[in-house]
C-alpha cells in the first residue's frame, strides 16, 4: 500500500499593474510561511502567473526582463519556505503573464525554461512533449501521476472573429500527448495542473475554447482525473477518491 502524502496548490502571485509591482510578496510570503508551518506539504504545485511580467506598463517585457523577475520570484519562494532549492519541491505551470513579448513561441517561453531549469523536458526525457520546453511535463509521486499543461498557447481554433490572438488554448499536440501520458500511466491517481480554467467566461478569454473543453472532458471520461485550474479557481472532475490529502490556495 502506498503511503499517504499531501501537497498544496497555489496560483497567481503577480503584483499590481498600476504600481508595476511584479510579485505580491506580502500575500505570497504569508501563504508560504503558513503552509510550511501548519501543513508541511511534500511538494507544491503552482498554477502560473508568478509575476506581473508581460502586463508591466511601459516596459519591454523581453526574455531578460521576464527571466530576472521569475528568478526574483524563485529566490523569494525559497526564502519564504526556508529551503535551498525548489528542485523536487515546487512544480509550476506557465501563466500568460510569465511569457515574454516575443511572437516566437520558443523564444517567449525561454525565460521560463531558464528560471525553472530543474523541471523535466524532452531533451532529458523522451516521454515529454517536444517543442514545449519545460512548460509541458509530468512527474510521478508514489501511486500518483501529476501532469502539467500549457494553456497559454495561442489558440487558432476558437472560431471567434473578435479573438485577437488571445493566449488561451491547448494545442492538438498537447491533447494527444496528454492522452498518451494517461494511457501509459499505471498510477492509481492522475492529477492535471493548468493555468486557465477549463470552463469560465469565454467572452472574457478566461476559459478554454469550447472544442477544447469537449476534447478534454472526453479524455477525462476515460481516466481517473483530478484537475486544478488556478487562474480563477480549482476544479475537480471525475474523481473517484484518493489517498492524497490536498489543500488548495487559489
Mean pLDDT of 18-30: 93
Where do the structural domains in the chain lie, given as residue ranges? 6-248
Evaluate the CA torsion angle 155, 69, 7, 88 in order and state its sign: positive
Residues of the chain with pLDDT > 70, as a percent, come to: 80
Q: Cell numbers of 97, please?
A: 503573464
Residue 125 neighbours by CB under 8 Å, 6+ apart: none
- Chain-centroid distance, C-alpha 179: 18
CB-count exposure of residue 204 (10 Å: 0-12, 13-18, 19+): exposed
* Banded model confidence at residue 103, pLDDT cuts 50, 70, 90: confident
pTM score, two decimals? 0.85
pLDDT at 73 over 90: yes
pLDDT at 249: 39
pLDDT at 206: 66
Structure confidence by residue, pLDDT tens digits, 187-219:
988 999 999 888 765 455 567 888 888 999 899
- What gap in Å lies between CA 201 and CA 208, rounded to an integer? 9
User: Where do we find the cell 508514489?
Assistant: 142
43: DSSP letter: E
Whole-Å CA distances, 12 to 94, 182, 224, 234? 10, 27, 27, 12
User: Where do we find the cell 523535466?
Assistant: 120
pLDDT at 124: 63
CB count, 10 Å around CB of 135? 28
Return the CATH class of domain 6-248. Answer: alpha beta
* Banded model confidence at residue 153, pLDDT cuts 50, 70, 90: low
The whole-chain average pLDDT of the chain stands at 83
- Chain-centroid distance, C-alpha 218: 21
pLDDT at 155 over 50: no
Structure confidence by residue, pLDDT tens digits, 45-55:
999 999 999 89
pLDDT at 168: 73
Amino acid at each position: 500500500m502506498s503511503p499517504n502524502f499531501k501537497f498544496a496548490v497555489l496560483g497567481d502571485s503577480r503584483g499590481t499593474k498600476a504600481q508595476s509591482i511584479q510579485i505580491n510578496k506580502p500575500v505570497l510570503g504569508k501563504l508560504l510561511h503558513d503552509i510550511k508551518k501548519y501543513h508541511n506539504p511534500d511538494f507544491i504545485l503552482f498554477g502560473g502567473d508568478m509575476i506581473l511580467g508581460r502586463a508591466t506598463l511601459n516596459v519591454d517585457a523581453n526574455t531578460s526582463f521576464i527571466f530576472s523577475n521569475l528568478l526574483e520570484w524563485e529566490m523569494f519562494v525559497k526564502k519564504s519556505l526556508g529551503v535551498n532549492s525548489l528542485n523536487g519541491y515546487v512544480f509550476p505551470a506557465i501563466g500568460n503573464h510569465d511569457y515574454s513579448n516575443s511572437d516566437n513561441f520558443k523564444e517567449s517561453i525561454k525565460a521560463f525554461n531558464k528560471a525553472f531549469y530543474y523541471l523535466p523536458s524532452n531533451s532529458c526525457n523522451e516521454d515529454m512533449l517536444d517543442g514545449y520546453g519545460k512548460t509541458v511535463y509530468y512527474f510521478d509521486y508514489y501511486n500518483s501521476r501529476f501532469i502539467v499543461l500549457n494553456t497559454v498557447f495561442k489558440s487558432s481554433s476558437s472560431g471567434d472573429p473578435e479573438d485577437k490572438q488571445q493566449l488561451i488554448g491547448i494545442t492538438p499536440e498537447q491533447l494527444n500527448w496528454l492522452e498518451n501520458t494517461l494511457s501509459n500511466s499505471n498510477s492509481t491517481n492522475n492529477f492535471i495542473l493548468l493555468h486557465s480554467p477549463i470552463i469560465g467566461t469565454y467572452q472574457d478569454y478566461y476559459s478554454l475554447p469550447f472544442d477544447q473543453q469537449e476534447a478534454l472532458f472526453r479524455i477525462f471520461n476515460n481516466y481517473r482525473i483530478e484537475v486544478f485550474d488556478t487562474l480563477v479557481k480549482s476544479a475537480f472532475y471525475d474523481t473517484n477518491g484518493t489517498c492524497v490529502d490536498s489543500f488548495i490556495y487559489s
